[in-house]
Amino acid sequence: MSRLGELVLRESWLVPVALLIQSGLYWAAVHGIGFGPSWLVQLLGTGSYFLLLFFTFRNISLPGMRWLTFGILLNTLVIALNGGVMPVDPLFLPEQSRKALLEGMGTHGLMTSMTHLSFLADRFYLAIPGLGKQVFSVGDVLIDIGVFLLVYKTQKRL
């Protein structure tokens, strides 16, 4: 893993800032704390993804970064077009999670017939022993491929 320490990432500070924004929005939603007008919450949530996109564009020459960029772009599109939340297919959610999303808790929303780009939403399901049921999107798969390629090729190349 020491070779990963030699990896030079431009604008790396954008990643923790984006994650801090997303974590703060999630925490506020789950605890029922009004974070301001809904347009501000949507702007901050979607804006955090633009920070991640800017980071990936600045590092596009690194292995796997194109996959990462495309995955984040797809997730950003579906979130931006659905009011700042990632739609989730309700068929895969337990009743308690569906109720929480109906109450506006968290950074996800239930997929409906009005969902834009529903094929890019969290609509795939995988049961992972020890982690339980996981839902994910096409963008998430591309992000995972990008991270794998970044780590693997960096370890192999340096």
pLDDT of residue 56: 97
pLDDT of residue 130: 84
- Taking alpha carbons only, the member of 123, 158, 151 closest to residue 139 is 123
Residue 10, C-beta contacts closer than 8 angstroms, at least 6 positions apart:
55, 58, 59
pLDDT of residue 66: 98
Listed as ranges, residues in the chain with pLDDT below 70 are 1-2, 34-35, 103-106, 157-158
CA 131 → CA 27, 33, 60, 127, 134, distances in Å? Answer: 21, 28, 32, 8, 8
Lookup result for tokens 């959610």:
93
pLDDT of residue 4: 78
pLDDT digits (tens, 9 = 90+) for 41-85: 888 889 999 999 999 999 999 999 999 999 999 999 999 999 888
pLDDT of residue 96: 75
Phi and psi of 93, rounded to 5°?
-100, 140
